[in-house]
Structures are given as structure tokens and as C-alpha cells.
């Protein structure tokens, strides 16, 4: 009988009948089998669902837990009506950066990453504002946390010019400095520039920087209720022009939800050519990307937490199960294909969008797993509680349980 470093026993797997054992060697999956195998350490799944761990396609990590600092005026503007005032909200939200300081940003970001460990989030596309008000105060602590948590929660750090490039002279130089400091991804937010020509120039400069340094790109595109916005198209076009095929992510892209069908099909066709993946966050706005339609067109769409208690969203626990649960409501994804879609969008599809290789529960795949409390996807989503066990790089890094004791008789007055 083969002995593994770790065996997850009595597991229910998605789309497979029966009970399974998953054997882990080092940080890889060595076997997925119904045969007896032994492990130096064993985790009993007790018949519950075991899947790949979670991937968060989009998080503003330097801004988590700042809502009390900035107040909710930006929140009102961002979510009002059909998101026509999103630009105003960004200007209001930038007030938080008046006293941006790594000494208070670091513990907030750390808190969000510890919650990621609890909830089985293994990879995060982590945006840090890099602009003339934030300077490098947000990205520096996030880069340090990336090193500290590597192998448990991997952060892809995005140097993100939140206030634009041409609107914010000096931001471009700071993004270059952040890349020199080791930021993994070049960010962008072209839709907030004042003209289409400036938006196109914004995308060109950031894609050129990414190509020159072997980095990926991730941009917030078309994030307002305005069907005339076309910066997703600009991003895909620039990826084709700069040799970045398959190395870009479009975040938000809410305006696409207002496109007529022919425009939707055109942008989907272009995205396919450019290998552009999408991340949607339907819980943080009143308008969202048409996730089900794009998925049906063969475009990979991930879900993101987006915000945790900041100027744009008052909740968030860094639970991608909670995000998938909320998305199921926003997208009307309640049947089994719908549940599979939202769960893939926080696990396997999300890994594909972020360019993470080997994120599959199969022999040779990464030993990054979550062991749930319930056997079916429907129950797991319904309860959306922290997994019973979280395995990262082949090691159990967190275990959670909850207990309620009912009184036998009602309390007496």
C-alpha cells in the first residue's frame, strides 16, 4: 500500500460517484483513488465535499477596513441608480488617501489575509493604489505580506493607478517604481480618463510597461453605467499589440451589462483572441457584467471579493463562498449548472483567469484543497461557512467548526 505525506479520506468529489481518498506528496496531489492508501497524516472528510481551494480574482487589499475612516458618501455615489455616478465615488473615496500610511495599512491588510487562510482562499489578485496621493504607502506593506504568506495565500500584487495616469501626472513614474519593487502585475483604470484618446494612451503605456518587464496586466475597465464605454475593447486590442495574449484580466467591466447583443458578441470575440479573462463582482454594484452570457460564449469569468469594509462596500469576510452565494442571487444562478458556474468562478476558472497553473483536484495538481462540512455543492453554498479544513501546499493550515447547544426547555422568565 502506498504511503503519502497526507491523505484526505472519505471525500465526496464534484461530479464523481462514491467516496474517494486524495493522497498528497509534498505540495502535489499524488493520487485520487477509491483504493486504500495510507498517510503519515490523515484528514477525515467524513463524506463531505472536497474541492480545489478558493481563488479571489479581485481585491483592493490596501483599502480593506477603511470605511470608518472615509465615511459612506462614496458608497452612496457608487451604488446609486444604475451606477451613473461611479466616477464621483472614486473622487470621494480618494479622501482616505489624505493620510495614507503603511503603519495602519499593514495590520488591516494582514487581517484580510488571515481571513483568507480561514476561508481557504489560496490565491488573490491584490490591488494596491499607486498614485500621487497614495504614493507607495499601500503597495509596500502588501509586497511584504506577499513574502510572509507565500505558499499559504499567494498574492499577485497589482500596482494600480486608481486616479488615472493622464489625470494624475506623476502616477506613471510611481507605477514604474512599484514594478521595480517587485509588483507582479501592472494595473490600470482607463475608463476614468477624460477622453477616449487618453484612455487608449493609458492602456498603451501600461501594456508597454508590462511587456517590457515580463509582467501581466489587470485593469478596471468600463466600471460605470454608461453603454458608450469601450475600454475593455482597448485593453484586449493593446494586449494583442504588445504580445500579452493570455496575460490580462479585465475587472468589473460593468458597462458591458448595458451593451446591445451585437456589441457584446464583438467584445467577446476580441477577448477570446486576446486571451483576456474577466472578473466580476456583482455584489458590490447595482450593475454587473453579463457573467452567464460571456461564460456561454466560452470566455472565462471569475468572481472577486472586490472590497472589504471600504468606501465602496460595507461588508466582506474574504469568503469566496459568500461571494459565490451572493453572485448566485445576482445572476439568477440557482439550478445545478448555475451553482457549478459560480463555484468554478471562485476556484478553477478563477485560477485560469489569473494564470495560476495546476489548480485542479487531480493527480499532479497542486495540493491546495478545502474540506467542507457538507456533501453537496448546494448545501456548501447555502451555509457558506469556513471550510472544516484548509490545505495549502500540502499542509493543513486552518480548521473550523461551530457548535450550538440548544436548551432542552425554553428559558424561564
Q: What is the DSSP string of 111-148?
A: HHHHHHHHTTEEEEEEEEE-STTTTTTTHHHHHHHHHH
Nearer to Zn ion, 37 or 253 (CB): 253
Instruction: Report the half-sphere exposure of 30 (CA within 13 A, side-chain side).
Output: 16
How many other C-beta atoms can be found within 10 angstroms of the C-beta atom of residue 1?
A: 6
Instruction: Look up cell 457573467; give the residue.
Output: 291
Instruction: Look up cell 488571515; give the residue.
Output: 114
Q: Please, what is the minimum distance in Å from the beta carbon of residue 38 to Zn ion?
A: 46
Instruction: Report the half-sphere exposure of 84 (CA within 13 A, side-chain side).
Output: 2
Q: How many residues bind Zn ion (CB under 5 A)?
A: 1
Q: Please, what is the minimum distance in Å from the beta carbon of residue 122 to Zn ion?
A: 20
Nearer to Zn ion, 52 or 168 (CB): 168
Closest of 154, 151, 148 to residue 55, by C-alpha = 154
Select from 184-192, 302-310, 329-337, 390-398 the region that touches Zn ion (CB under 5 A): 302-310
Residues numbered 200 to 219 that lie near Zn ion (CB under 5 A) are none
Q: What is the CA radius of gyration of the chain?
A: 21
Q: Please, what is the minimum distance in Å from the beta carbon of residue 281 to Zn ion?
A: 6
Q: Please, what is the minimum distance in Å from the beta carbon of residue 203 to Zn ion?
A: 17
Position among 131, 172, 233, 306 found at the interface with Zn ion (CB under 5 A): 306
Select from 114-122, 299-307, 321-329, 367-375 the region that touches Zn ion (CB under 5 A): 299-307
Q: Please, what is the minimum distance in Å from the beta carbon of residue 365 to Zn ion?
A: 29
Asked if residue 115 binds Zn ion (CB under 5 A), the reply is no
Nearer to Zn ion, 29 or 64 (CB): 64
From edge to edge, which strands make up the β-sheet containing 20-25?
A: 28-33, 20-25, 3-11, 38-44
| Per-residue cell: 83 | 451606477
Q: Please, what is the minimum distance in Å from the beta carbon of residue 313 to Zn ion?
A: 9
Residues numbered 143 to 172 that lie near Zn ion (CB under 5 A) are none
Select from 8-16, 142-150, 159-167, 304-312 the region that touches Zn ion (CB under 5 A): 304-312
Select from 33-41, 130-138, 292-300, 306-314 the region that touches Zn ion (CB under 5 A): 306-314
Mention every residue, 6+ apart, whose C-beta is less than 8 A from residue 130: 136, 138, 139, 159, 160, 161, 162, 171, 174, 175, 177, 178, 183, 187
Nearer to Zn ion, 154 or 306 (CB): 306
Q: Please, what is the minimum distance in Å from the beta carbon of residue 251 to Zn ion?
A: 6
Q: Please, what is the minimum distance in Å from the beta carbon of residue 223 to Zn ion?
A: 7
| Per-residue cell: 286 | 447595482
Question: What mask of x and - would describe binding to Zn ion in positions 234 to 263, judged by CB under 5 A?
Answer: ------------------------------
| Residue 55 to residues 209, 267, 303, 356, 368, Cα–Cα distance (Å) | 26, 25, 9, 9, 11
Residues near Zn ion (CB under 5 A) are: 306
Amino acid at each position: 500500500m502506498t504511503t503519502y505525506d497526507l491523505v484526505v479520506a472519505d471525500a465526496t468529489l464534484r461530479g464523481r460517484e462514491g467516496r474517494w481518498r486524495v493522497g498528497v506528496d509534498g505540495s502535489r496531489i499524488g493520487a485520487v483513488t477509491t483504493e486504500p492508501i495510507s498517510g503519515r497524516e490523515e484528514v477525515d472528510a467524513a463524506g463531505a465535499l472536497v474541492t480545489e481551494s478558493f481563488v479571489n480574482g479581485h481585491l483592493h487589499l490596501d483599502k480593506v477596513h477603511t470605511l470608518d475612516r472615509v465615511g459612506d458618501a462614496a458608497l452612496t455615489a457608487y451604488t446609486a441608480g444604475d451606477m451613473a455616478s461611479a466616477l464621483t465615488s472614486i473622487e470621494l473615496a480618494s479622501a482616505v488617501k489624505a493620510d495614507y500610511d503603511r503603519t495602519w495599512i499593514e495590520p488591516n491588510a494582514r487581517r484580510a489575509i488571515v481571513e483568507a487562510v480561514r476561508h481557504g482562499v489560496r490565491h488573490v489578485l491584490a490591488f494596491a493604489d499607486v498614485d500621487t496621493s497614495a504614493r507607495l504607502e499601500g503597495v509596500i506593506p502588501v509586497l511584504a505580506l506577499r513574502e510572509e504568506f507565500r505558499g499559504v495565500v499567494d498574492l499577485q500584487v497589482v500596482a494600480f493607478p486608481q486616479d488615472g495616469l493622464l489625470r494624475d501626472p506623476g502616477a506613471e513614474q510611481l507605477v514604474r517604481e512599484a514594478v521595480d519593487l517587485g509588483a507582479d502585475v501592472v494595473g490600470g483604470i482607463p475608463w476614468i480618463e477624460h477622453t477616449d484618446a487618453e484612455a487608449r494612451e493609458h492602456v498603451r503605456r501600461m501594456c508597454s510597461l508590462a511587456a517590457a518587464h515580463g509582467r501581466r496586466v489587470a485593469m478596471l475597465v468600463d466600471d460605470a453605467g454608461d453603454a458608450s464605454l469601450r475600454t475593455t475593447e482597448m485593453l484586449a486590442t493593446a494586449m494583442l499589440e504588445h504580445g500579452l495574449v493570455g496575460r490580462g484580466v479585465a475587472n468589473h467591466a460593468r458597462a458591458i451589462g448595458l451593451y446591445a447583443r451585437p456589441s457584446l458578441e464583438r467584445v467577446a470575440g476580441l477577448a477570446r483572441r486576446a486571451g483576456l479573462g474577466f472578473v466580476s463582482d456583482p455584489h458590490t454594484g447595482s450593475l454587473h457584467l453579463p457573467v452567464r452570457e460571456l461564460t456561454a460564449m466560452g470566455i472565462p469569468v471569475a468572481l472577486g471579493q472586490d472590497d472589504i469594509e471600504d468606501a465602496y462596500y460595507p461588508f466582506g469576510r474574504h469568503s469566496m463562498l459568500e461571494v459565490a452565494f451572493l453572485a448566485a442571487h445576482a445572476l439568477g444562478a440557482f439550478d445545478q449548472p448555475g451553482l457549478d458556474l459560480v463555484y468554478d468562478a471562485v476556484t478553477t476558472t478563477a485560477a485560469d483567469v489569473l494564470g495560476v497553473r495546476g489548480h485542479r483536484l487531480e493527480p499532479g495538481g497542486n495540493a491546495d484543497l478545502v474540506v467542507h462540512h457538507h456533501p453537496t455543492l448546494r448545501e456548501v453554498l447555502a451555509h457558506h461557512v469556513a471550510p472544516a479544513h484548509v490545505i495549502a501546499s500540502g499542509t493543513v493550515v486552518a480548521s473550523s467548526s461551530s457548535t450550538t447547544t440548544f436548551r432542552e426547555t425554553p428559558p424561564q422568565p
